[in-house]
Structure 1
Amino acid sequence: MLSARSLFQEILDNDDSYRLFCSIAASGETQGGWENARIAALVPESLAALAPKITRHGADEDKHGRIFNALLGKRGLEPVPVPPETDYTMLLERRGIGLAHDRLRRDERLTETDVLVYLSHSRVTEQRASEQMAMLVRYFGDHPEVGRAVRMISHDEDNHLAYCHEELLRLARAGHGRTIQRTLRECALAEIAVYRDVSLAVTAHMGRILRWPPAKSAALAGGIRAVYAYERAGRWRRMVGLAMPERRDALGGPPEPAPAL
């Protein structure tokens, strides 16, 4: 029977599929670290109080990239190039979601609207990250090889999501509510499509590595498309709601060190 647990176990048990999985994850986290570091350096003076939290966010993402690379190193594996069709961050950028890398490379202050776009994009993508890591913790939180790593990353992703909720609510109270809601909706509808495309691409690569029979690959692809249809029908709205989190000031301190793997 196909299940998320059995699929991830299959990926974990094979060096080549595990290598690709960790490489994709490390690359995405490292990109996120760079993006947040640049945003922190470019925030407008009116939002300067956000810079330390954005810096902390970026430091966490960098740490996650190092954790995934360390997991590879424990097996004596090297990262592999990330297939472009599996690059979640860049595919979102091509759809005009978030702040373009060309914009972040310029030494030019961001506007308040740019920061709203960044936080809205982060609120949507951190929802996905939080859900995905919670699933991995449920299945592999006690795993001797990856358990500590997935628990720490899951904790951080929950902090990132809480931070996005809190800061967006603060900015909404300052008069930016309509812009935030419009941007959240655009980001969410783009994200569910990109997540579908990336999931299909990753599944295709894993299927070739693990030599899945065509029926299994077709069933998985059908499941991914069914999830997208469900999200497109209304489930995407979970990504745009805002509520004051239980974790207040979640990124108010220094980043926690990576665990000893």
Structure 2
Amino acid sequence: MLSAKNLFQEILDDDGSFRLFCSIAASGESQGGWENGRIAALVPASQRALAPKIARHGADEDKHGRIFHALLRKRGLTAVPVPEDTDYTMLLEKHGIGLAHEQLGREEPLTEHDIITYLAHSRVTEQRASEQMRLLLRYFADHPDLGRAVRMISNDEDNHLAYCHEELLRFAAAGHGRTIQHTLRVCALAEIRVYRDVSLAVMEHMGRVLGWSRARAAALAAGIHAVYAYERLLGWRRMVSLAPPGRADALGGPVAPAPEFA
């Protein structure tokens, strides 16, 4: 039976597909850690109070990258190069979403508009991350190898999403509401296209590793296109709404120590 749980289980049970899965995840998290670290260092003077929260966000992403590498080591595996067509972060940048690595690599302070762009981009991508981790949490919270990692990362992603809501609402109250809504909409519509393309690429690579039949590959691709059609019509709206989060000041505390899984 073709189901999300069975698909994930098949990927996790095979060393080759598990290696690719963890490599892609670790790369994306590490990129996010670097980006947030640079943004924290370049925050404009008017928003210096945000710097510790942005740094905390980056530290969490770095921690997640280490966790995925530790999961590989626990199975005696090493990371593999990430195929370009599965690089979610860089593909978003190519679509003009978020702050470019070239800009973050300079030593020029960011503007308040840059910070709003960063928060809107993060609000959209953290929505995706939170949903993906909750799906894994539903199936693998008690898994002997993955359970601890999934629980920790899922909690962190929920914190990141809460922080984005809170800070964007603060900027909206300061008069930036229309800019925020426009930026969120542009980000959301671009993200769902990139997510579709990355999902198709990941499934193609996984299919080669696992030897899927053409019929199964076609069925999975059809499912991905169906999700995109729904998100293009209605689903993107969940990524642009703003509401006071249930977790106040979610990134205001100290960074939790990164556990070792190897």
Q: Normalised by the size of structure 2, how large is the TM-score? A: 0.99
* Rounded Cα–Cα distance in structure 1 between residues aligned with 2:108 and 2:98: 17
Say if 2:251 is the partner of 1:251. Answer: yes
Aligned residue identity for 1:225: H
* Partner secondary structure for residue 255 of structure 1: coil
Contact 1:148-1:259 at 8 Å conserved across structures: no
2-side partners of 1:254 and 1:21: how far apart? 29
**Residue 94 of structure 2 aligns with which residue?**
94
Aligned to 2:139: 139
Aligned ranges for residues 1-261 of structure 1 at < 5 Å? 1-261=1-261
Take 2:67 and 2:107, find their aligned partners in 1: how far apart are those partners?
A: 30
Take 1:76 and 1:179, find their aligned partners in 2: how far apart are those partners?
48
For 1:260 and 1:112, locate their aligned partners in 2 and report how far apart those are by CA, in whole Å: 37
* Alpha-carbon separation, structure 1, partners of 2:175 and 2:140: 43
- Name the Cα RMSD after superposition: 0.5
Q: CA deviation at 1:102?
A: 0.2
Q: Deviations over 1:119-175 (max 9, x none)?
A: 000000000000000000000010001100010000000000000000000000001
Q: Verify the 8 A CA contact 2:70 2:260 in the aligned structure 1.
A: no
**Displacement, 1:258?**
2.2
Aligned length in residues = 261
Question: Shift in Å at residue 234 of structure 1?
Answer: 1.1
Give the distance between the partners of 1:2 and 1:47, measured in 2 at CA: 48
* Distance in 1 of aligned mates of 2:140 and 2:255: 24
Query: 2: distance between equivalents of 1:64 and 1:212?
Result: 29
Encode CA deviations 1:29-68: one digit per residue, 9 max, x unaligned: 0000000000000010000100000000000000000000
Separation in 1, partners of 2:224, 2:17: 19
C-alpha distance in 1, partners of 2:50/2:240?
A: 21
CA deviations over 1:231-252 (Å, ceiling 9, x no partner): 0001100000000001000000
Task: Give the partner amino acid of 2:21.
Answer: F
Unaligned runs of 5+ in 2: none
Render the CA deviation track for 1:206-253: whole Å, top value 9, x for unaligned: 000000010000000000000000000011000000000010000001
Counterpart-to-counterpart distance in 1, 2:257 and 2:149: 11
TM-score normalised to structure 1 length: 0.99
Say if 2:116 and 2:168, in contact at 8 Å, map to a contact too.
yes
- Cα distance in 2 for partners of 1:56, 1:63 equals 10
Deviations 1:60-112 (A, max 9, x none): 00000000000000011010000000000000000000000000000000000
- Detail structure 1 runs of 4+ shifted over 6 Å in the superposition: none
Aligned-pair CA distance for 1:184: 0.1
CA separation in 2, counterparts of 1:255 and 1:144? 25
Write the distance in 2 (CA, Å) between the matches of 1:181 and 1:255.
30
Aligned residue identity for 1:99: L
Aligned 8 A contact 2:120 2:164 in 1: yes
5+ residue gaps, structure 1, are none
Deviation of 1:255 (Å): 1.3
> 2:260, 2:196 → 1: CA distance?
34
